[in-house]
Amino acid sequence: MARYQLGQVNADGSPATADRGKAVRPTLCLLMCEALGGDLAAALPAAAGLELLHNFTLVHDDVMDDDETRRHRPTVWAVWGRAQAIDAGDLLHVLATLSVLRSGGGGDSALLARDAVEVLTDGCRLVTEGQHLDIAFETSANVGVADYLDMIARKSAALLAVAFELGAVFAGNDAATRAACRAYGRELGIVFQIRDDVLGIWGDPAVTGKPVGADIQKRKKTLPIIHALETADGPDRARLRSMFGDERAPPDAETTTAILERAGSRSFVDTRIRRHARRAREALEHLPVNDWGRRNLEAVATYIARRDR
Amino acid sequence: MARYQLGQVNADGSPATADRGKAVRPTLCLLMCEALGGDLAAALPAAAGLELLHNFTLVHDDVMDDDETRRHRPTVWAVWGRAQAIDAGDLLHVLATLSVLRSGGGGDSALLARDAVEVLTDGCRLVTEGQHLDIAFETSANVGVADYLDMIARKSAALLAVAFELGAVFAGNDAATRAACRAYGRELGIVFQIRDDVLGIWGDPAVTGKPVGADIQKRKKTLPIIHALETADGPDRARLRSMFGDERAPPDAETTTAILERAGSRSFVDTRIRRHARRAREALEHLPVNDWGRRNLEAVATYIARRDR
């Protein structure tokens, strides 16, 4: 089941060439390690562990959200049932920790593995907290912009912060550099999620591969919707509240986007993206990275803020 | 939710004096540490982590098994729903690792924390494997005695092995002593589970607090049943197979125990208990424990093999 989730095998155990995901987190971990002059070989097991941890959260998320499809295949629970999927997620969680433990080489550098496990596990703590809030928000009528940003800072941004901090751990950096890496990752993670929210409403179906207003159809209360629910004028707000709170009819994409425009929600989220992207660049300025690394890390920040899919 | 599971609060968050479980694993961890002349203070966070890990497995088990009651209270999922319970279990898993990481004190002894996390996590790997087998057995017609023993060695015995090995880690012991601790815990864990199976069928309701033949009513294929399914005479075997495989009527306790007696299953499991208890004592002989520790560890083994509830 773990290998299936990782796209390495089919449900019957035969080798697969399935979509294995983009491996964003381990890639960024190794990029930061190299940018800080670290040894990639020491960081590799931790980078792999981070990808295992991410997949553990996906397997459990799919059970919690009743999602039957991921990466164009049935989810683990859809194939083997919920009980086995919960257990398979727990195993991936375990394998993540074991992989990180085996990083850093032996002897004194075993201490690096200890630090890396702490970084990974504390990041995972934030993810479980964010997931808790996300589930609670589904049944809560009063989720504000601040609540939402707090939730995504944990659920979505924490593992990007872990990715960059792990790079710094294996490059042997001090607490200040590690904190700057964490801040860079957290801010970029927030940008990533808000950009995701923008694409879920205004994304080009030809580029994203998702229908127009995909998140509106699913009644997802993403940042633009939450902003409009807080700030739209009386009639617009009542209309939006009814469309997103009433089970009888799915919200209409055209009406919703018109309300969002009038409430200034598109401009609000774009401003937010710029603000967090600027904070990420400020954190990057304090990092003792080489020129090659700085160029690449700046390109990463620009890509995440502007991506179309 | 984590505090609720640990019996510290009620579902509304108010302080509780609920049953907090027996804390068997942390107690045995500290007993072994002291028996080997170790420093209890260094081991305490790891012992606490072990109890957190045990509770993580309970929260997820209750979701997987649809169990609505534990320790005389509604289970976490019964109060907050399955999604929040899966997430709360994940948090307890995380908190277990963080607690163990903070054991051993700083400096060089941070390496002890690294070793302890590896012991805990690898034990947890075995538990997830055992859980996988246990779920798979529910829908499998051909589970033999060897399959069952392999399953309980992982699902039930692994965390007792972890408990004793963690004691040795913090007492600064070498690989051979750690392996003997692990063997002692594994054999005792198997004894514990088989004795549990015996009590589930032949236990005295006045002592166990459970109905006569509690496991028979629940159609649990424990070791005595599996043995009889393998070895009973033709008509008895057919009768047992039908009672435990057919959904229409619950198995009858009197008929079942008569079949078990004829198949020699009671004597088989008692022999098994004695065999694994002897192996545990052999492992104990090789341990460099003090006299106080040896007396207590022998008493633990005797209690586990003979307990009536």
Judge if ipTM > 0.90: yes
Same fold for the pair B1-6+20-144 and B174-309: yes
B191-233: pLDDT as tens digits: 999 999 999 999 998 888 788 888 898 889 999 999 999 999 9
| CA proximity to A72, closest of A124, A148, A20 | A20
Distance of CA B290 to the CA centre of its chain: 27
Contact between chains at A94 and B124 (C-beta distance less than 8 A): yes
Name the CATH superfamily, with its identifier, for domain A1-173: Farnesyl Diphosphate Synthase (1.10.600.10)
Domain boundaries, chain A: 1-173, 174-309
Is A271 within 8 Å of chain B by CB? no
Is B66 within 8 Å of chain A by CB? no
- Which of B54, B117, B120, B169 has the most A C-beta neighbours within 10 Å, making it the best mutation to test the interface with A? B117
pLDDT of B109: 74
Contact between chains at B60 and A86 (C-beta distance less than 8 A): yes
Taking domain B1-6+20-144, whether its CATH number is 3.40.50.300 is answered by no
* Partners of residue A63 in chain B, C-beta under 8 Å: 82-83, 86
pLDDT of B108: 65
Contact between chains at B60 and A90 (C-beta distance less than 8 A): yes
Contact between chains at B94 and A128 (C-beta distance less than 8 A): yes
Q: Report DSSP state, residue B74.
A: E
Is A132 within 8 Å of chain B by CB? yes
A136-186: pLDDT as tens digits: 998 887 899 999 999 999 999 999 999 999 999 999 899 999 999 999 999
Interface A-B: count of C-beta contacts within 8 A? 106
Contact between chains at B86 and A60 (C-beta distance less than 8 A): yes
Is the pLDDT confidence value at A214 over 80? yes
Is A85 within 8 Å of chain B by CB? no
Average pLDDT, chain B: 93
Pick among 3.30.1490.20, 1.10.3720.10, 1.10.600.10, 1.25.10.10: CATH of B174-309: 1.10.600.10
* Partners of residue A46 in chain B, C-beta under 8 Å: none
Contact between chains at B87 and A132 (C-beta distance less than 8 A): yes
pLDDT of A208: 81
Contact between chains at B97 and A97 (C-beta distance less than 8 A): yes
pLDDT of A282: 95
pLDDT of B106: 63
A45-54: average pLDDT: 97
Residue B270, φ and ψ in degrees, nearest 5: -65, -40
pLDDT of B195: 96
Name the band, by pLDDT with cuts 50, 70 and 90, for residue B235: very high
A94-107: average pLDDT: 87
